[in-house]
Structure 1
Amino acid sequence: MRSLLYLPALLLSGVIACGQGQSAKSTQPEMPLGFEEYDPVSTLKVPEHKLTKSKYPFIDVHNHQFQMDKEDLNKLIGQMDDLNMGLMVNLSGRGFANDEAESTKFLDNALANVKKTSPKRIALFTNINFSNVNDKGWTEQAVKTLEEDVKKGAKGLKIYKSLGFSVKDDKGKRVRVDDPRLDPIWAKCGQLGIPVLIHTADPKSFWDPMDRYNERWLELKLHAGRKRGPNDPVPWEQLLAEQHSVFRKHPKTTFIAAHMGWYPNDLKKLDSLMKVFPNINVEIGAVIAELGRQPRASRAFFEKYQDRILFGKDSWVPSEYATYFRVLETNDEYFPYHKKYHAFWRMYGMGLPDEVLKKVYYKNALRIIPGLDKSQFPQ
């Protein structure tokens, strides 16, 4: 009889337990896990040196600020101070207006804003408007505008990847990166002593089949517009060959290849290009994930070309600089990158020597980009 008295309680506890089990089960992802859901927490116990500021003040040669003509720059300077960024190069000097007069006004206002607020902390590069490239006299006018912009205070020229991709003449024909109409522009940069920071193409994986073998599969799934067909608009190899043709034709002009020329994952190939073209330098914007998975090869490359590598980041997300500092400065092992869709693999620090760090962080930029204030940087 006593056992029967306990039966309702047992049944009730069983119902509760069953309900809890169902609730717990419902919070679990369906099995098997997909690649996007799988996000294991490492059990590895190793020394960690999480950095929020760089060891030395640095110059970011690849940055984009889109409202510098009117924004309060004091907030930006404060964010730079938090990172120990001594100087920012805003490559979007003329903004993105298609109208030449509007972009000139944007540059003039941006230069005035910088001069008023922070002339020692921010530098601007100018840009080229290719919309009327087929017009008679376009080349001469572009060269004249370039000269005027440099006289106003522009420190260099930034070429966007639209050249080679989407820039077309009045017949709808793609304008090649090495189009002869542009030769006077590259030559003028050499005469003026200003560098050309040029972005051509995108990662090779964007042209590859989007299948299980593509390292950028997740990025291409999340950002479908980045996927290209094998000939969209031409093969990847052709775009870079056109860029290299420009380097070859203009040995007296200093070039900075954005994103390490899209060869950060093939340092042997990049090494061969650095040998062939002594007038090119590289910056590391958006490719630290490639360097962080091959720390020994990366360190050897940085030591070999320590006078020709510059710090760059590209997108302005202050929290992401920590990954760059940690890869460059520490010997940390197996730490996460800040975007899974860029790199699902872990990072390893290069532990660069101080003298190499100083060159990458600021010395090379001070030498290559004219007119930057040197007073805030160590010798």
Structure 2
Amino acid sequence: KGWAENAARQLEQDVKNGASGLKIYKDLGFSVTDISGKRVKVDDPRLDPIWEKAGELKIPVIIHTADPKSFWDPMDSMNERWLELATHPGRKRSNTDPAPWDTLIAEQHRMFKRHPKTTFIAAHFGWYANNLAKLSELLDEMPNVVVEFGAVIAELGRQPRMAKQFFTKYQDRILFGKDSWVPEEYTTYFRVLETEDEYFPYHKKYHAFWAMYGMGLPDDILKKVYYKNALRIIPNIDKSLFPD
């Protein structure tokens, strides 16, 4: 009792010390348990003071909930992530490890809706990069949510026309994202976003075995995705470091 209130006070002090946002890893919903040993749900009301404080402080909360839905699906010839799961067996999930995918995602969405004054960044396109029609519905329902596309660029690159329509419609609510600092991998991201190249490979064979295509986004949208949206959403970034 009182843990979330203490965490909220700590967050306030962290912001005074220069913090510009809050990152919530997938441990919440996966492995975090309470004193009784029960899984702490993503939308556990005991955590509400933290999300409310983030909104009050006008800092975004970037949250990674669950993993690709394929990690919950049967590991057979119909699973596009079969090779990834075969080479990284620790990523396989089930309805009891820790909970069904739909349950985890629903918890996240309820939390988003319960705190409309807090800006949430749904990591990895909220795991809906392979269903942009559904993600579009969700963004329309939750105007306080923005997305980033770390580790899901391959999903966008195989549906360039739909992805370009999505980026055009939600150009103010998409952030450039990358899971790790591996400079040679950025070429793939830039190629999908900026060019109209056709039928080129992803940089990890186990992650996406299909070919991709460039969206050919215009410069005004690219600037928003690369930095202008971040400058608006994340406080304390030195705007003088970026062009108009």
Residue 316 of structure 1 deviates from its aligned partner by 1.7
Q: Which of 47, 51, 61 is the aligned partner of 1:196? A: 61
Match of 2:162? 297
Q: Is the 8 A contact 1:208 1:230 kept in 2?
A: no
Alignment of 1:325-336 (within 5 A): 325-336=190-201
Amino acid at match of 1:188: K
Amino acid at match of 2:12: E
Deviations 1:134-167 (A, max 9, x none): xx32112101110111100010000000000000
Match of 2:177? 312
> Is residue 106 of structure 2 the alignment partner of residue 241 of structure 1?
yes
| C-alpha RMSD of the superposition | 0.6
Match of 2:124? 259
Deviations 1:280-299 (A, max 9, x none): 00001000000000000000
Match of 1:172? 37
Q: Distance in 2 between matches of 1:256 and 1:182?
A: 17
Q: Is the 8 A contact 1:157 1:196 kept in 2?
A: yes
Q: Distance in 1 between matches of 2:95 and 2:114?
A: 27
Match of 1:182? 47
4+ residue runs over 2 A deviation? none
Amino acid at match of 1:295: P
How many residues are aligned here?
244
Amino acid at match of 2:78: Y
Gaps of 5+ in 1: 1-135
Amino acid at match of 2:83: L
Q: Which of 139, 158, 161 is the aligned partner of 1:274? A: 139
Q: Distance in 1 between matches of 2:2 and 2:164?
A: 47
Q: Which of 166, 173, 186 is the aligned partner of 1:321? A: 186
Match of 1:160? 25
Q: Distance in 2 between matches of 1:307 and 1:139?
A: 31
Residue 232 of structure 1 deviates from its aligned partner by 1.7
Q: Which of 193, 210, 215 is the aligned partner of 1:345? A: 210
Match of 2:151? 286
Match of 2:234? 369
Q: Distance in 2 between matches of 1:306 and 1:199?
A: 21
Q: Is the 8 A contact 1:328 1:349 kept in 2?
A: yes
Residue 234 of structure 1 deviates from its aligned partner by 1.0
Q: Distance in 2 between matches of 1:228 and 1:244?
A: 20
